[in-house]
Structure 1
Amino acid sequence: MKKRKSVIPGFGISLGITITILSIVVLIPLCSLVVFSAKLSFSEFVYTVTRPRVLSGYFVSISTAFIASLINVVMGLILAFVLVRYDFKGKRFIDGIIELPFALPTAVAGISLTHLTTTNGWVGSIFYKLFGVKIAYTRIGITIALIFIGIPFVVRSVQPVLEKIDIQYEEAAFILGANSRTTFFKVIFPEILPAIISGFTLAFARSIGEYGSVVFIAGNTPYETEIAPLLIMSELQEYDYSAATSIALIMLAIAVVILSVNAIVQSIVSRRVNGLA
């Protein structure tokens, strides 16, 4: 049997290059967190990462990121559906600016959102005068900033899957008597569910570690709007590298857990969808 030639080097060389690049770019920097954290004893490490102020920072970061990601799932699904199923003027422009949060410096986004949502800003003044609600320097403001930086993950995860769904399946469902709601949940939704989960998880993981766009709009009030990444920066400014890396190590562990759960859930959902197909 003739061996098929590959356009890339052999498996051994390819694997070696992959591991080397992965080690330089990802593994070695992450291992440095463990090395610096190891300078603390176990009791000191536990005390550092479980102080009330630090626990509050974890809660603020995780809760606002979770809420923002849920909102992004709904908004991102609607945006992806409109961009795939409808043709209108300015469609390419809207499709392009969805990726703006990827290119825009996070500090610029944070400053812009803060100016818009303060009690004197265009948006913030309306909500404050009509409803008495403050947006900037509250958890609402943090959530808005995280929605801004997270929505491209959902749109770009769902959009390619929607493009591949044959519209004839929907037409067949309509012919068989299904209404729009039934068609969406029975025909479309099962197909895009893995992509929705992926987009949610990526947005969630990204939002938990977000610093630049949040630090300006948060107000950084301890136990109220102080996020975990800000605590890390505060420890670094005080040259307490062991404490900073310890908190960062917990954030890394949270991110790993989120991504691992995402992989497991996606695998289960994909098997079920393929089994029903």
Structure 2
Amino acid sequence: MMRQRKADRVLPGFNLSLGFTVLYLSLIVLIPLAALVIKSLDLSPSEWWDTVTNPRVVASYKLSLLTSFYAALANLVFGLLLAWVLVRYRFPGKRIIDGLIDLPFALPTAVAGIALTTIYAPKGWIGSLLEPLGIKVAYTPLGITLALIFIGLPFVVRTVQPVLQDMESDMEEAAVLLGAYRLRTFRKVILPELLPPLLTGFALAFARGIGEYGSVVFISGNMPMKTEIAPLLIITKLEQYQYSQAAAVAVGLLLISFVLLLGINLLQRWSNRRLRVVSKEA
């Protein structure tokens, strides 16, 4: 029996696979992050703390985190809606719309930033219509959020879409036949199944938004203490040859992002356990 199992294996053994995995992660992730931390340690502890708590740096942290959170939250709602429409309905041009969802993946981020700025600038196609109403998009946190929504939408759609495709409609039809309203059916039957992929898509969109640079740098206006994001501040310090301070700002942003993503992953694990308990009781 053991020989048969070994003969059926196509991939290399565990030791070889684990070795390649650790080597790959070390070269691509661990070693660069370690070098970043080591470079930031060129500063003394007081200098490091003064750098990451500088009002300009704190303002950039706050702007990056809040706009990324709001963009991921918007993508959570509209990404679910798009995935639902693409899976549950048939209509002309469905394949075209489905293909356009992946456009932010293929489009260079700088091109996306220039396009959004052109459209939402005060003299742009949409910006000129919004300006008389007192709504300013470009060169404001709203414009940054809009750019992050653009680049983060595919993460939510592509994580929710396969789950919706695998979900059978029998339970939904049974709930409706038993007298449940549509909202109650969605909340009690559909949403628990979609919660794990929704959290995954939210985490991916949020993480992408925190480190986004190309699509944001044009539409933000780059005004210190107002529309200056953390990645832009890191680039600014690098251009000024302040490598240790740039590394310190990057490490601070990395730590904040790690804590937030860890919380999201713990919430996702809790939702998975709760879903398993509910399915077993059912």
TM-score range, shorter chain: over 0.9
Q: Does 1:224 align with 2:223?
A: no
TM-score of the pair, normalised by structure 2: 0.96
2:65 aligned with 1:65, yes or no?
no
Structure 1 residue 258: deviation in Å?
2.6
Q: Note the C-alpha offset of 1:262.
A: 2.3
Residue type of the partner of 1:149?
A: I
1:247 corresponds in structure 2 to 249
3-state SS of the aligned residue for 2:2? Answer: coil
In structure 1, C-alpha distance between the alignment counterparts of 2:97 and 2:91, rounded to whole Å: 10
User: TM-score when scaled to structure 1?
Assistant: 0.98
Give percent identity, aligned residues only.
56
Q: What 5-or-longer segments of structure 1 have no aligned partner?
A: none
List per-residue Cα deviations over 1:47-92 (Å, max 9, x = no partner).
Answer: 0111000000001111111111111111101000000000111111
Q: What per-residue deviation string (whole Å, max 9, x for no partner) do you get for residues 4-54 of structure 1? A: 122111111111111001111111111110111111111110001110000
Match of 1:123 among 123, 126, 132: 126
Alignment partners' CA distance in 1, 2:206 and 2:34: 23
Report the number of matched residues.
276
Give me the whole-angstrom Cα distance separating, in 2, the residues matched to 1:222 and 1:255: 21
The DSSP-based 3-state class of the residue aligned with 1:80 is: helix
Gaps of 5+ in 2: none
Map of 1:9 onto structure 2: 12
Once residues 155 and 13 of structure 2 are traced to their aligned partners in structure 1, the CA distance between those partners, rounded to angstroms, is: 34
Q: What is the CA–CA distance in structure 2 between the aligned matches of 1:96 and 1:250, rounded to whole Å?
A: 37
Q: Which residue identity does 1:158 align to in structure 2? A: V
Report 1:40-189 matches (<5 A). Answer: 40-129=43-132, 131-189=133-191
Residue 37 of structure 2 is aligned to residue 34 of structure 1: yes
CA contact (8 A) 1:201 1:258 kept: no
C-alpha separation in 2, matches of 1:45 and 1:117: 38
Q: 1:233 aligns with which of 232, 235, 244?
A: 235
Question: Deviations 1:253-275 (Å, cap 9, x if unpaired)?
Answer: 12222332222111110110111
Partner in structure 2 of residue 267 of structure 1:
269
- Tell me what 1:24 maps to: 27
Code of the residue aligned with 1:169 in structure 2: it is M
CA distance in 2, matches of 1:7, 1:255: 38
What is the rounded CA distance, in whole Å, between the counterparts of 2:223 and 2:92 in structure 1?
44
Equivalent-residue separation in structure 1 for 2:266 and 2:143 (angstroms)? 32
**What residue identity is the alignment partner of 2:19?**
G
Q: CA–CA distance in 1 between the matches of 2:53 and 2:253? A: 13
